[in-house]
Amino acid sequence: MSAPPETTVVLQCEGIGDCLFAIPVLRKLRGRLPPGERIALYTHHVSLFATCPYVDSAAHIAAASGRSFARLVVLFDLSKLPHWLVDTVDFISIPAGLGQLSFREKQLEYFPREEDRAERFDVVLNTSMTWPSRSWPIASWQRLADRILSLGYSVAVVGKDVVSGADRMEKKSLPLAGCTDLTNRLSLDQTYFTIARAGLFVSCQNGLSVLSGATDTEVVVLDMSIEWSKRAIYRREDPHYKVSYVKGGCDIYCCQSHECTTYGEFRCIPTAERVIEVVEGRLAALRRAPGGAAQAADQPAS
């Protein structure tokens, strides 16, 4: 008996966020294939796709090196499109021959393997420090945390220190005084559950901000040098459904990472005052909403 036909997909991106943006593309690819055809995925993050219903197998990308495949689709090919000018999902889908996805098709998904063992916090912060243009000063994070705590909310900090070979840097997530420190203590599944249980999640533009798009949690994203629309989170076909994008005072879309060639400083980084204003506004809206997820300031925090 002959083996069923198989399409091989090589997902070249190393970042968790980019891999999550690829899931809607895999979902559409699966719908385009003839019934019975398998998808074999090669990726840097095998565990991320272990329970993904849109692939039949997942292996490390190194296992695809030097091999030839009858049907091959390469996703996240940096030579095909200028990735900084294109919505990430479309950057992945257009070169694959799938065209531009609709807002509905861009709905993010995540498929955890573990049971939900997460605690509930009113607010969850991710202090991930990466490129200078996409990192918020730790002093600003602390000011934000202090303000949220002063209002009577419970706050946790999530994130993981990782060494990125592709980006040639160590990415760190620092704890904050007065907050429950969950940095480097949670699996990606438990991080997902912690974000999903929270009333509000605040993050810079990174893998965990993309992960939050697979939840229904209120989100504040500091988008800085990368235009928010290029990394938009689509839920209910709306990039603004329960998402607030906060940027500093620069309107130039440069997508620079290490230095600002225009001003010498990244003016796109928002001030602590601006972020605190937006966060307070979202918390107030959650208090007013029927069955709002965030605790009122005069109620005991969970």
Q: Is there a single domain that holds both residue 226 and residue 182? A: yes
What's the start-to-end Cα distance of the chain, in Å?
58
> Which domain-ending residue is among 93, 110, 145?
93
Confirm whether pTM is higher than 0.85: yes
Domain count, the chain: 2
Distance CA 148, CA 200 (A): 11
Task: Please check whether residue 247 lies inside any domain of the structure.
Answer: yes
Task: Please check whether residue 50 lies inside any domain of the structure.
Answer: yes
Q: Is there a single domain that holds both residue 148 and residue 259? A: yes
What is the reported pLDDT for 166? 67
pLDDT tens, residue order, the chain (302 aa): 567 799 999 999 999 999 999 999 999 999 999 999 999 999 999 999 999 999 999 999 999 998 989 999 999 999 998 888 899 999 999 999 999 999 999 999 999 999 999 999 999 999 999 888 889 999 999 999 999 999 999 999 999 988 877 667 688 999 999 999 999 999 999 999 999 999 999 999 999 999 999 999 999 999 888 889 999 999 999 999 999 999 999 988 888 888 988 888 999 999 999 999 999 999 999 998 876 555 433 332 32
What is the reported pLDDT for 298? 36
CATH for 225: 3.40.50.2000
Distance CA 231, CA 250 (A): 18
Range of the structural domain that residue 72 is part of = 6-93
Distances (CA, A) of 14 to 65, 75, 183, 200: 15, 12, 21, 27
Q: Is there a single domain that holds both residue 16 and residue 81? A: yes
What is the reported pLDDT for 171? 81
Task: Please check whether residue 63 lies inside any domain of the structure.
Answer: yes
What is the reported pLDDT for 4? 79
Given the DSSP bridges, would you call strands 162-164 and 169-171 parallel, antiparallel or unpaired?
antiparallel
Distance CA 80, CA 94 (A): 9
Distance CA 15, CA 166 (A): 9
Helices (H) and strands (E) in the chain, counts: 6, 12
Residue carrying the six token digits 């459904």: 241
Task: Please check whether residue 296 lies inside any domain of the structure.
Answer: no
Q: Is there a single domain that holds both residue 211 and residue 130? A: yes
Q: Which two tokens stand for residue 75?
A: 């996703």
Tell the burial category of 139 from Cβ atoms under 10 Å away from its Cβ (0-12, 13-18, 19+).
exposed
Q: Is there a single domain that holds both residue 280 and residue 148? A: yes
Confirm if 294 and 199 have CB atoms less than 8 A apart: yes
Task: Please check whether residue 84 lies inside any domain of the structure.
Answer: yes
What is the reported pLDDT for 252? 85
Q: Is there a single domain that holds both residue 59 and residue 135? A: no
Distances (CA, A) of 254 to 225, 262, 272: 6, 9, 22
Distance CA 146, CA 54 (A): 43
Q: Is there a single domain that holds both residue 131 and residue 263? A: yes
Q: Is there a single domain that holds both residue 77 and residue 147? A: no
Q: Which two tokens stand for residue 302?
A: 């969970």
Q: Is there a single domain that holds both residue 89 and residue 127? A: no
Task: Please check whether residue 14 lies inside any domain of the structure.
Answer: yes
Helix (H, G, I), strand (E, B) or coil at 42: strand
Q: Is there a single domain that holds both residue 37 and residue 87? A: yes
CB atoms within 10 A of CB 105: 18
> Which domain-ending residue is among 93, 113, 148?
93
Q: Is there a single domain that holds both residue 154 and residue 253? A: yes
Q: Is there a single domain that holds both residue 134 and residue 249? A: yes
Task: Please check whether residue 109 lies inside any domain of the structure.
Answer: no
Q: Which two tokens stand for residue 262?
A: 């225009």
Task: Please check whether residue 130 lies inside any domain of the structure.
Answer: yes
